[in-house]
């Protein structure tokens, strides 16, 4: 995480903070580009371009087989909130 310090400026009755040029260039932001701001309960301010997707609740289904552990952890670390495990009625658990 990179920390950048800025000073607040005043324009009329509002306070203004400039955004880092490298950040705006990377995200192709220009004058008038919409952004979203989120304020946490602790008072932290998160600024993100509007086109950043909201975290979707991801779900997946995986079979219980010889590769179950690998598939399960892969699905978990990919951010799936719901992982359904299917069992083959013919398969036997060792």
- CATH at 40: 2.10.260
Assess whether 38 and 66 both reside in one domain: no
Assess whether 44 and 59 both reside in one domain: no
Any domain includes 4: no
- pLDDT in the model for residue 49: 87
- pLDDT in the model for residue 88: 82
Query: What residue spans of 13-91 are helical by DSSP H?
Result: 21-26, 68-77
Assess whether 61 and 43 both reside in one domain: no
The tokens for 54 are 């909201």
User: For the chain, how many structural domains are there in total?
Assistant: 2
Short-list 63, 60, 62, CA closest to 93: 63
What stretches in the chain show pLDDT beneath 70?
51-56, 90-94
Q: Which residue range forms the structural domain that includes residue 87? A: 55-94
């Amino acid at each position: 995480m990179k920390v950048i310090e800025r000073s607040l400026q005043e324009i009329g009755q509002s306070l203004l903070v400039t955004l880092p040029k490298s950040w705006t260039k990377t995200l192709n932001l220009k004058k008038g580009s919409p952004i979203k701001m989120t304020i946490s309960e602790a008072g932290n301010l998160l600024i993100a371009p509007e086109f950043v997707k909201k975290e979707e609740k991801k779900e997946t289904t995986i079979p219980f087989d010889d590769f179950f552990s690998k598939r399960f952890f892969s699905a978990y670390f990919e951010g799936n909130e719901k992982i359904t495990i299917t069992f083959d009625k013919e398969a036997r658990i060792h």
